Structure 1
Amino acid sequence: MKNYIFLFFFLFGVSVNAQIERVEPPFWWSGMNRSEIQLMFYGNNIAEYSVSTPSEMIVSNIRKTENPNYLFVTVQTEGLKPATYNIRLSKKGKKSMSYPFELKQREPGSALREGFDASDAIYLIMPDRFANANPSNDSHPQLQEKADRSNPGGRHGGDIEGIIQNLDYLEDLGVTALWSTPLLEDDDPAYSYHTYAQSDVYKIDPRYGTNEDYRRLATEMEKRDMKLIMDYVTNHWGAEHWMIKDLPTYDWVHQFPGYKNSNYRMTTQFDTHSSKVDTELNENGWFTSTMPDLNQSNPLVLNYLIQNAIWWIEYSGLDGFRVDTYSYNEKEGISKWTKAVMDEYPNFNIVGEVWMHDQAQISYWQKDSPVGAIQSYNSYLPSVMDFTLHDAIMVMFNEDEQSWADGMVRAYDNFANDFLYNDIYNLLVFAANHDTNRINEEFDGDVDKYKLAMTLILTTRGIPQLYYGDEIGMRGDKPAKGDADIRRDFPGGWAGDEQNAFTEAGRTQQQNEYHSFTKKLLNYRKNNEVIHTGKLLQYAPLENVYVYFRYNENDRMMVVINNNPEAQPLDLTRFAEGLAGATSGKDIISGEQISLDQNLEVSGKSPLVLELK
């Protein structure tokens, strides 16, 4: 433990007396909007010491808790220049200690950084399963779980360097933003590869790399005009977190006493008829027995989470957060956390995982929601995930015939409810992610159905997100084989792999068909403003054919998704409003020019994306 502590301080260039085992945050920045910083000092009986600072640094509060190993010291940094300020801890009859607290110089324009938006296309990876460029860090002597690629649910060795070495692949594909599942340390004895049960939230898991490696990833992405999104967990930590093992306060986590599992009833957050026992169990119950639920009603906890989030944005140069299990948090606490981050970075973006199956319930959690306003609630969360569209995609492309509620009507009905959202362009749209079944498993490897789904995701309103490997047809059956099957290794990410799907020559003919279609659409939308922010005009589907338009003052496009196995004729007079006088259009997939002055026939189970002239 001691070796680990000194390694932590060594990495940040800090030398301290052994009595001070940790200080968090380890440093801050000059000129931040959040200039009142609460430093957490940790060490054996450290609360017995008094605190003094240089005259120019004001201590506005000192907080002790029932655990004498913690001391919370609030300092004012407003007006202080970048420098190192020695904070001294002293006790009569004992040798005094000092901590060199550094205020760093901010990067120019840091406060006004632009977050991800509808002009981006996000690629989601699980780093342990993407690419392993540094086998020497696959296991770590001070962390419990060792690498075992033969175990589907074990650690396989993917790392940050593997991501960096494949950024050219992502850029060529047309990706503009990367969301990685968490990279912070997770010392669970098993299944730690998902990294949602974190054991240190100021440290990248050394099996992925170092804090500096993560910052280098952001820098390399910036060179390519790509954005980095961190998967942030506010609701819980892992049972192996060092603070969980020595709680600062009894109520740092929710206790019953001890563990009780959540009932997962997120509807209790707004249900006017909900019982207190159900509401409490959803908000305060643990996500699992290995993920203690953080108590955001405790000001020390909430402030710790706010500072940690801002620290990672500033340190790494992040462009966004995806917040795990957003709607399991205490809704007042998560609202304060979100507002604090957005106040510091007004152009930043945060998308919350609100895994619900009703548009009104999802909308409740978006900033300035007309639904949330009914209860005078505002989460300040800019973006939410369009899970209802995902639900539709998972079934409708397997429905060859249209009924009143089946087939492409599912997509039409989903967008018909957009009036419930405050900002439809800030919805994350996706076919699948790391928690859902693989989309190509649902389609049984049918590339035509994949093309229909990707056309919808990449041309409708909102911010599209792809799951790694979907672009080469990767499959996985979660119901039958569990999470590990939908989180397989990307072929070619490990030395010695029989196949390297990162290259055209290394992919099969079918994989290249998936890939080339995805690449064509992604690169088309990259610089096409009408797809980013254009209005959506949709027509009620007929014969399982869904037609919609995206348009602005200068440009217009027509999208046809024929989910019918048979070719279907379209009477173009019906779409006069959307065509707005256009007589021809360029098919962006084939490059052909198509006349629109007569009936149009669309092949079975195929999309058509027309740039109108």
Structure 2
Amino acid sequence: MKKLLLLLLLTGSIAFAQADRVEPPFWWAGMNNPELQIMFYGKNIAQYTPSVSNNVVITGVVKTENPNYIFVTIDTKNVPASDLVFSFKNKNKVAFTQKYSLKKRKANSGYRDSYDSCDMMYLIMPDRFANGNAGNDNTKNTNEKADRNNPNGRHGGDIEGIIKNLDYIKELGATAVWVTPLCEDNDARGSYHGYGQSDVYKIDPRYGTNEDYLRLSSEVKKKGMKLVLDYVTNHWGAEHWMYKDLPMYNWVHQFPGYSQSNYRMATQFDTNASKIDQRQCVDGWFVPSMPDLNQSNPLVLNYLKQNAIWWIEYADLDGFRVDTYSYNDKDGISKWTKAITDEYPHFNIAGEVWMNDQAQMAYWQKDSKVGAIESYNSHLPTVMDFTGMDALAQAFNEDDAGWDKGTMKMYNNLANDFLYPNINNLLIFAENHDTGRINEIYKNDFKKYRMAMAILATERGIPQLYYGSEIGMAGDKGKGDGDIRHDFPGGWAADAHNAFTAAGRNAQEKQYFDLTSKLFTWRKNKEVIHTGKTTQYIPDNNVYVYFRYNDKETVMVAVNNSGESRTFKSARFAESIKNHKSGTDVITGKTVNVTGDITMEPKSVIVLELK
């Protein structure tokens, strides 16, 4: 009899009913929104009728055209932290049971602080930052293997590498750490960037484990910094387990099958746009390897809401950056964002809205006056200042003053601040992991880098620095993404030198690092920069001057972007200088008289604390 049973098991003649996956894998008691929708996945699981223990009420059961899924909604209001048991019955007989835990929340979890204009955010691509554990470079269950000779392949950087270098990040003046996606991306090639996720509840084993991510979160907080997760709502990777067995046809956008986005995000609000163009932008796939998620499908939207909240609660996160925010179904992404900020009122989310017009970017910020024209509110606290990025990338390579050249680009960018409902909630940056490296654009001209960093450290908004720029790392976008995502020197045991340490940095790296650290360490405690007002003056002869001020302090920033020395009269700025007689330059420590003429060297900047 035992031999017969073993034979039946081996041949598959007997199958034990079970849930192969349960998502979210667990939840918490006492959430602001008590409704929880649990997805159970297993072979023909939809044939069963679910029930649950502890007098918990099932408020909804959804079965789709795929019998391998069942979505069960329960009401967790007043349900204490406990282990529930779901029973799955067929003809009133229990086929199998599934344990499900409601955990105890951290005290005041819903009112956690987040990042804001007091912070400087350091952006890391983990695969290229530091390899803290060479033992996880390759794993048996992931396709792509490490190869540092391939600029577009995996190089082995991981969570442990970040943890080991948190002191370096803190010394730089950063107070928040944005890490590009760490969840599993099992694409056969190019998986290092993490934006084609294959399991959104699991850290990629080549980065570490879920427990390692919890440790990163804890260690970041011990250093007095904040951890920001890079969340992707618009798409998954083609290797995602759900894409290989879709719950329903319209879980992803189908044309049928693949059709690429036209990337024309203006169709989201263009009153003259054709429906076909608007659909092609929003529903079209970013690239063939990234199935486009359908946020207008309530099951998809709820899955994404709960996954995002799960990570916040599980990993004790301090904020999100959201990839390709403006490519989502705009009503769906608005509901997604509001669900998170309803649960966590102080939680900040920065959305990637890569547009080249301030009005179009402002449309996407919470309580936008532009969006209100058509009664739209994204509920998104922070948008990324791409027009400011463009200005920084171009202005310092234009030595000659002109109507719209040089520093006029920066002036014009701030001149449109009236469009934004909250100018302090703009993420400002000179570059990121998708753009040309600023040091490549400047041809490693330190004077230009110094001007750019001074502006990032003193403008309104939340400054973001891209890893490696602070030691002079360059990279040409024209050569491919691999060239703008070089390995950080010293992150691998075999590296020739270690730029993570003062002793290991060469002369150029030291020059860049010391300047960056000085500016952003100074900024940490400067309320006048965090929340002060701005007065700017039209650039004259490619000299741009602006002031940050509040009731207690005034900071004067002057940039000579020309290739020659410039002398200008301070009397022009009397309304901002007021009774101040001098100022101390944050960069050099020198005292500058602000009552007469001021002379500046070519391609130079002064940041004066007025006295």
Residue 109 of structure 1 deviates from its aligned partner by 1.6
The CA distance in 2 between the partners of 1:451 and 1:476, in whole Å, is: 18
Following superposition of structure 1 onto structure 2, how do residues 324-335 of structure 1 map, counting pairs within 5 Å?
A: 324-335=323-334
User: 1:505 and 2:524 equivalent?
Assistant: no
- State the partner residue of 1:514: 512
SS in 1 for 2:39: strand
Please, which moves more after superposition, 97-106 or 202-211?
Answer: 97-106
Residue 593 of structure 1 deviates from its aligned partner by 2.3
Residue 97 of structure 1 deviates from its aligned partner by 1.6
Residue 597 of structure 1 deviates from its aligned partner by 2.2
User: 1:383 and 2:379 equivalent?
Assistant: no
- State the partner residue of 1:266: 265
- State the partner residue of 1:580: 578
Following superposition of structure 1 onto structure 2, how do residues 397-476 of structure 1 map, counting pairs within 5 Å?
A: 397-476=396-475
For the 8 Å contact 2:88–2:94, the answer to whether it is kept is no
SS in 2 for 1:26: coil
Please, which moves more after superposition, 122-131 or 597-606?
Answer: 597-606
CA deviation map 1:200-252 (0-9, x unaligned): 00001010011111111111111111011110000001110000000001100
**Aligned residues, how many?**
596
The CA distance in 2 between the partners of 1:227 and 1:81, in whole Å, is: 30
Q: Which amino acid aligns with 1:354?
A: V
Q: Which amino acid aligns with 1:566?
A: E
Residue 83 of structure 1 deviates from its aligned partner by 1.1
Residue 603 of structure 1 deviates from its aligned partner by 1.4
5+ residue gaps, structure 1, are 1-16
The CA distance in 1 between the partners of 2:314 and 2:151, in whole Å, is: 34
For the 8 Å contact 2:450–2:515, the answer to whether it is kept is yes
Residue 93 of structure 1 deviates from its aligned partner by 8.4
The CA distance in 1 between the partners of 2:93 and 2:489, in whole Å, is: 59
The CA distance in 1 between the partners of 2:297 and 2:589, in whole Å, is: 59
User: 1:495 and 2:487 equivalent?
Assistant: no
User: 1:592 and 2:590 equivalent?
Assistant: yes
- State the partner residue of 1:354: 353
The CA distance in 2 between the partners of 1:593 and 1:269, in whole Å, is: 51
- State the partner residue of 2:69: 70
SS in 2 for 1:259: coil
Q: Which amino acid aligns with 1:239?
A: A
Change (3 A) 1:18 1:485: farther
SS in 2 for 1:335: helix
SS in 2 for 1:145: coil
The CA distance in 1 between the partners of 2:541 and 2:509, in whole Å, is: 30
User: 1:182 and 2:195 equivalent?
Assistant: no
SS in 1 for 2:59: strand
The CA distance in 2 between the partners of 1:302 and 1:95, in whole Å, is: 31
Residue 147 of structure 1 deviates from its aligned partner by 0.8
- State the partner residue of 2:194: 195
The CA distance in 1 between the partners of 2:492 and 2:431, in whole Å, is: 24
- State the partner residue of 1:27: 26
User: 1:392 and 2:391 equivalent?
Assistant: yes
Following superposition of structure 1 onto structure 2, how do residues 197-346 of structure 1 map, counting pairs within 5 Å?
A: 197-346=196-345
- State the partner residue of 2:365: 366
- State the partner residue of 1:98: 97
The CA distance in 2 between the partners of 1:160 and 1:347, in whole Å, is: 27
CA RMSD in angstroms, aligned pairs only: 1.0
The CA distance in 1 between the partners of 2:402 and 2:227, in whole Å, is: 42
SS in 2 for 1:455: helix
The CA distance in 2 between the partners of 1:475 and 1:183, in whole Å, is: 24
The CA distance in 1 between the partners of 2:78 and 2:402, in whole Å, is: 66
For the 8 Å contact 2:533–2:548, the answer to whether it is kept is yes
For the 8 Å contact 2:87–2:94, the answer to whether it is kept is no
The CA distance in 1 between the partners of 2:396 and 2:42, in whole Å, is: 58
SS in 2 for 1:597: coil
Residue 18 of structure 1 deviates from its aligned partner by 6.3
The CA distance in 2 between the partners of 1:443 and 1:465, in whole Å, is: 18
The CA distance in 1 between the partners of 2:575 and 2:223, in whole Å, is: 39
The CA distance in 2 between the partners of 1:157 and 1:89, in whole Å, is: 43
Q: Which amino acid aligns with 2:566?
A: Q
Residue 562 of structure 1 deviates from its aligned partner by 1.0
Query: TM-score when scaled to structure 2?
Result: 0.97
- State the partner residue of 2:543: 545
The CA distance in 2 between the partners of 1:473 and 1:595, in whole Å, is: 32
Residue 92 of structure 1 deviates from its aligned partner by 3.4
Q: Which amino acid aligns with 1:490?
A: F
Residue 561 of structure 1 deviates from its aligned partner by 1.0
The CA distance in 2 between the partners of 1:596 and 1:273, in whole Å, is: 52
CA deviation map 1:6-46 (0-9, x unaligned): xxxxxxxxxxx762100000111111112110000000000
The CA distance in 1 between the partners of 2:594 and 2:380, in whole Å, is: 42
5+ residue gaps, structure 2, are 1-15
The CA distance in 1 between the partners of 2:115 and 2:154, in whole Å, is: 30
- State the partner residue of 1:139: 138
The CA distance in 1 between the partners of 2:594 and 2:458, in whole Å, is: 20
The CA distance in 1 between the partners of 2:221 and 2:552, in whole Å, is: 30
Residue 94 of structure 1 deviates from its aligned partner by 6.4
The CA distance in 1 between the partners of 2:62 and 2:84, in whole Å, is: 20
SS in 1 for 2:86: strand
The CA distance in 2 between the partners of 1:425 and 1:93, in whole Å, is: 59
CA deviation map 1:157-186 (0-9, x unaligned): 000000000000001111000111100100
Following superposition of structure 1 onto structure 2, how do residues 23-172 of structure 1 map, counting pairs within 5 Å?
A: 23-92=22-91, 96-172=95-171
Q: Which amino acid aligns with 1:465?
A: Q
The CA distance in 1 between the partners of 2:133 and 2:33, in whole Å, is: 37
The CA distance in 2 between the partners of 1:394 and 1:171, in whole Å, is: 26
- State the partner residue of 1:8: none
Residue 525 of structure 1, aligned match among 523, 526, 529:
523
The CA distance in 2 between the partners of 1:405 and 1:152, in whole Å, is: 38
CA deviation map 1:301-352 (0-9, x unaligned): 0000000000000000111111000010010000000000010000000000
CA deviation map 1:131-173 (0-9, x unaligned): 0010110111111111111111100000000000000000111
Residue 586 of structure 1 deviates from its aligned partner by 1.1
Residue 424 of structure 1 deviates from its aligned partner by 0.4
The CA distance in 1 between the partners of 2:564 and 2:261, in whole Å, is: 48
Following superposition of structure 1 onto structure 2, how do residues 4-23 of structure 1 map, counting pairs within 5 Å?
A: 19-23=18-22
For the 8 Å contact 2:427–2:463, the answer to whether it is kept is yes
Query: TM-score when scaled to structure 1?
Result: 0.96
SS in 2 for 1:585: strand
SS in 1 for 2:322: strand
- State the partner residue of 1:569: 567
CA deviation map 1:73-131 (0-9, x unaligned): 00111111111111111223865322211111111121111111000000001000000
Residue 300 of structure 1 deviates from its aligned partner by 0.3
The CA distance in 1 between the partners of 2:575 and 2:209, in whole Å, is: 55
For the 8 Å contact 2:321–2:352, the answer to whether it is kept is yes
The CA distance in 1 between the partners of 2:444 and 2:591, in whole Å, is: 30
Q: Which amino acid aligns with 1:414?
A: N
CA deviation map 1:486-536 (0-9, x unaligned): 000000000110010101111111111111000000100001110100001
CA deviation map 1:254-277 (0-9, x unaligned): 101111111111010000010111
For the 8 Å contact 2:54–2:84, the answer to whether it is kept is no
For the 8 Å contact 2:17–2:43, the answer to whether it is kept is no
The CA distance in 2 between the partners of 1:509 and 1:98, in whole Å, is: 64
The CA distance in 2 between the partners of 1:232 and 1:249, in whole Å, is: 23
Q: Which amino acid aligns with 2:608?
A: L
